[in-house]
Amino acid sequence: MNFLFIDSCQNELFVLLYNNGEIFYSTSSGNKKHNSVLLPKVDELLNKSGIKINEIENIACVVGPGSFTGIRLGVSTCNAIAFAVGSNRIAINTFESIAYNNINNILVALDCRHGNYYAAEYNNGKEVALLNITEKEIASFEGEVIIWNGERNIDNIVSCVKDKIESKNFVDMFVPLYLKKSQAEREAEC
């Protein structure tokens, strides 16, 4: 089993390649650079692992929430690679690997500025809701709150994706997950 995992939704680009138990990953900071470094990072990992792009069986893509441009970049790149090589597509939201294997009632939140947060509520490891909430709403949550600082747990990512592959939780096409309208859409409504 192998898979390519791409998350370009945050300030740090994160690319991981899993190949029969071996894990290779690479990061790059600065969300204004993702489009110029994403494919070279994929190529770097393929070279390290010794496999070719057409041997990638599965592609996992973080579809959001996060940076609107980053989401679009990841989704379009992963769709193109999956289409070109015939890989299975696994959609992951930003919070799934953070909450993976947590059996408590938790809220995972990501600061999206101006006192607002993207968040996901989980109960017994199952996603209950995806939300766009405020600091006040986070403070009133009854359960554990995790404000995600961007740190990734490699084992959780690998286990989360492997579980989705084993359960054949595939999608036909990666679709962006937006929890609010873009600034341009909000301004057009005024």
Query: Across 35-164, where does the E strand assignment appear?
Result: 58-62, 88-92, 106-111, 116-123, 126-134, 144-147
pTM of the complete model = 0.93
Which among 91, 88, 86, 3 has a CA at the least distance from the CA of 45? 3
Identify the pLDDT of residue 3.
98
Q: Bigger pLDDT: 51 or 182?
A: 51
Whether pLDDT at 39 is above 90? yes
Nearest to 91 by CA among 75, 107, 76: 75
Q: How many CB atoms lie within 10 A of CB 32?
A: 10
| Count, residues in the chain | 190
DSSP 54: G
65 band by pLDDT with thresholds 50, 70 and 90: very high
* pLDDT > 70: percent of the chain: 97
Q: If pLDDT is split at 50, 70 and 90, which confidence band does 96 have?
A: very high
Q: Do the beta carbons of residue 140 and residue 146 sit within 8 Å?
A: no
Count Cα neighbours of 115 within 13 Å in the Cβ-side half-sphere. 5
Q: Distance (Å, rounded) from C-alpha 79 to C-alpha 174?
A: 6
- Tokens encoding 93: 């939201």
- Check if the beta carbon of residue 131 is closer than 8 Å to that of residue 121: yes
Highest average pLDDT, of 78-82, 116-120, 180-184, comes from 78-82
Judged against a pLDDT cut of 90, whether residue 35 lies above it is answered with no
